[in-house]
Amino acid sequence: MQTAMLAFRNLSRQKRRSFLLGGAIAFGIMIVTLIDGFAGAFVDNVSENFSNLLAGHVFVEGVEKSPKGRDLEIIRDDAALREAAEAAGIEAKYVSRRSGLQGSLKFAGRTATLAVQGVDFEAETFLAERLALASGSLDDLPRDGIVLPEPIADKLGVEIGDRLLVTTRTYSGQQNVGEFAVAAVIKDPGILGSVSAYAGRDYVNELLDLAPDEYQALSFYLPSLKGMDEAGDRLHAEVSSRLQAFERKAPGAEGGNPVLAMMRGEDEETWTGVKYRVTTLNDALAQVQQIVDVLDVASLVILLVLFLIIMVGITNTFRIIMYERIREIGTMRAVGMQRGQVRGLFLYEALFLALGGAVAGLAVASLVMLGVGLIDFGLDSPLFLILRNGHMSFRLDWARVAGKVAIVAFLTLAAAFFPARSAAKLDPAVALRTAV
């Protein structure tokens, strides 16, 4: 206890030196904490934003083969899928049934190509809450009404009530032409949202040559991101027992994108009727996790590189400290301090330095995260996918933080160990007669 107290007080001897060493440790901890905080929120934010864009966390899509062997997207078994979802115990906040076309919109000689989502506005009440209207209204939407993102409306030069020509293909690949009436314009929702428009599903189905009770994608928006894979597994089991379904994770999915792997498998396979694919947002965002894994490794590498540099400083400083206090070490050895206690004195000092630096680094990182989190980047920011409601957010895994602090403490102790050992091995007589 006396050794620890003495070590703690020794830190105050050369305040400037302790401040610089502790500051270097604090800087290292701050950097890795910021990276960890960013990486921690990265998956959540990207998943959250994608789940909004894709309107769900668990998806069912139907695929049938055309006579020419092309994959056609269609869901014809809504009743069976409803039963499967109920049997799987999927408790969704929202369920959406959508169709989608890719088309060229033309107005007054101008053209814009974009995806049009066919939605049931009455069922998808949450969509109305999420879309920020710039003009027009979602109430009493005409059957051929379309909701355009602001950049597309500007590009086409349309206003509310204008009628647009659309050229597209039916679900089976036949060319088709129709008209949309501009019902509303929404504020620029960012990169992906800005190339998607919304229209009534009945009219989109008509353009796609689908029956009114058919559609292309069934999505379940769960109350939270947690448990989506388990929900996907349960739903897949229930769908498989009622209908034809692809394997949940196609071979070759490990290390890549499971959805793409599944789709590659479909190209090589033949079947009759509709076969269903059950996927989750995590499957679609498998590569996002890979980015996070890279960030995790980068954080550890930065920590190690920074601390290798800091360790050199710590070792040199503790060598200087040893020479500065050489007579004091001699005195302490003379009055009965064992070698281990001398070593402990130095190591305690290093440990306090590491812990003090770590606490300071965490405090500064917390302030930085708080400050950055207050900046409003806007919903139309190019960074929107990694933002939460336009703000940068951070999430720290405290076990991981504790692990990093432990690594820092270990490295600091390792750096101080050799000077501490040299101090402990000093011959007391030599130490006492050394002039400092």
What is the contact surface with another protein in residues (CB under 8 A)? 1-2, 6, 9-10, 12-13, 327-328, 330-339, 341, 427-429, 432-433
Nearer to another protein, 390 or 428 (CB): 428
Instruction: Please report how close the Cβ of residue 333 comes to another protein at its closest, in angstroms.
Output: 7
Q: Which is nearer to another protein, 243 or 337 (CB)?
A: 337
> Which runs of E-coded beta strand occur in 270-386?
274-280
Shortest distance in whole angstroms from residue 335 CB to another protein: 4
Sequence-distant (≥ 6) Cβ neighbours of residue 131 within 8 angstroms:
138, 147, 184, 186, 189, 198
**CA 145 to the chain's CA centroid:** 35
Kindly tell me which of 108 and 435 has the beta carbon lying closer to another protein: 435
Minimum distance between the CB of residue 332 and another protein, rounded to whole angstroms? 7
In the complex with another protein, the residue whose CB is nearer, 55 or 332, is: 332
Write down the least CB distance from residue 300 to another protein, Å. 37
Task: Tell me the β-bridge partners of 119.
Answer: 200
Residue 352 or 384 having the CB closest to another protein: 352
Rounded to a whole number of angstroms, the minimum distance from the CB of residue 314 to another protein is 20
Which is nearer to another protein, 47 or 317 (by Cβ)? 317
Q: Find all residues with CB under 8 Å of 116, minimum gap 6, and list them.
A: 100, 101, 102, 103, 146, 166, 168, 180, 196, 197, 198, 199, 204
Residue 13 or 93: the one with the smaller Cβ distance to another protein is 13
Cβ proximity to another protein: between 103 and 330 the closer is 330
Q: How far is the CB of 27 from another protein (least distance, A)?
A: 27
Min CB(11)–another protein separation in Å: 9
CB of 344 to another protein, least distance (A): 11
Shortest Cβ distance from residue 325 to another protein (Å)? 9
Q: How far apart are CA 44 and CA 33, in angstroms?
A: 17
Based on CB atoms, which residue is closest to another protein, 5 or 309?
5
User: Residue written as tokens 């995260």?
Assistant: 369
The contacts of residue 199 (CB under 8 Å, 6+ apart) are: 116, 117, 118, 119, 144, 145, 146, 147, 180
Q: Min. distance of Cβ 345 from another protein in angstroms?
A: 11
Residue placing its CB nearer to another protein in the complex, 2 or 272: 2
Cα separation of 355 and 256, whole Å? 40
